[in-house]
Amino acid sequence: MLSIGGIFVLVSGLMYFAFMSAWLNVFQLFGHLAWVTLVAGALAVFVGVVNVKDFFLFEKGVTLSIPESKKPDIFRRARAILSAGSLPAMLAATIFLAVTANFYELLCTAGFPMVYTRLLTLAELSNTARYGYLAAYNLIYVAPLALIVVVFARALGTRKLTEREGRLLKLMSGVMMLELGGLLLLAPELISRVGIAFGLMTAAVGITWIAARLTRNGQA
């Protein structure tokens, strides 16, 4: 389980890094145009609104969750791992599963990578520094995935993310996207300040903590 999970997390991190590198190159080519920042801000606000909506109306209407119609294909590939006759075949099936799952996931979670890479091109950084920040982002991205794998392995798969926990994660990411999108639209020069960034994160975590307290009995 740890081997399969580790391969899945590694491939996920590499795919996300490649995806964000593509975003970075797009912004480096066209980032000097003022409308690019406005478009990035508008998309971030849209993503934020959809994710906050999912907290109140989970997966109803427009949503950025993996479509239900795509999940059977992911489950089929997951079952193929269990039926693999050897370790190399099992690892190969895991890689195919990771590529498939992350392809759907990238389409659903493009907001944060887009905003992050736009922030990198707005900052006065060298190309090497920008790719260093991409690597740091992806290390942080895979860290909770790796932790989930370890917890899942220790619990033998008995611990699953509840709908309430999923809704709270949607709320926190949605609030952060609304904050970042608003700044890109109204005051992009402020978004590179460390104090502003930590303030936005603190506000998003605080709002989510309040929502968690209000819904601790399972009702929104």
Residue 219 placed within a domain: no
Enter the pTM of the model: 0.66
**In the chain, how many domains are there?**
1
Q: What is the pLDDT along the chain (220 residues), one digit of tens a residue?
A: 777 888 888 888 898 898 889 889 988 888 777 788 888 888 889 988 988 998 888 878 888 776 677 677 777 777 777 676 677 777 888 888 788 777 777 766 767 788 888 888 888 888 899 999 999 988 888 888 888 778 777 766 555 667 788 888 889 888 988 988 888 888 877 766 767 878 888 998 999 999 988 888 755 4
Cβ proximity of 123 and 39 under 8 Å: no
Contacts by 182-191, CB closer than 8 A, 24 or more apart? 182/41, 182/45, 183/41, 184/37, 184/38, 184/40, 184/41, 184/44, 184/115, 184/118, 185/38, 185/41, 185/42, 185/45, 188/37, 188/41, 188/122, 191/119, 191/122
Residue 133 placed within a domain: yes
Q: What is the dihedral of CA 15, 20, 26, 29, to 10 degrees?
A: -120
Cβ proximity of 137 and 19 under 8 Å: no
Residue 59 placed within a domain: yes
Query: Residue 35's domain spans which residues?
Result: 2-214
Residue 165 placed within a domain: yes
Cβ proximity of 71 and 200 under 8 Å: no
Residue 40 placed within a domain: yes
Q: Exposed (0-12), middle (13-18) or buried (19+): which is 47, by Cβ within 10 Å? A: buried
State the pLDDT at residue 103: 75
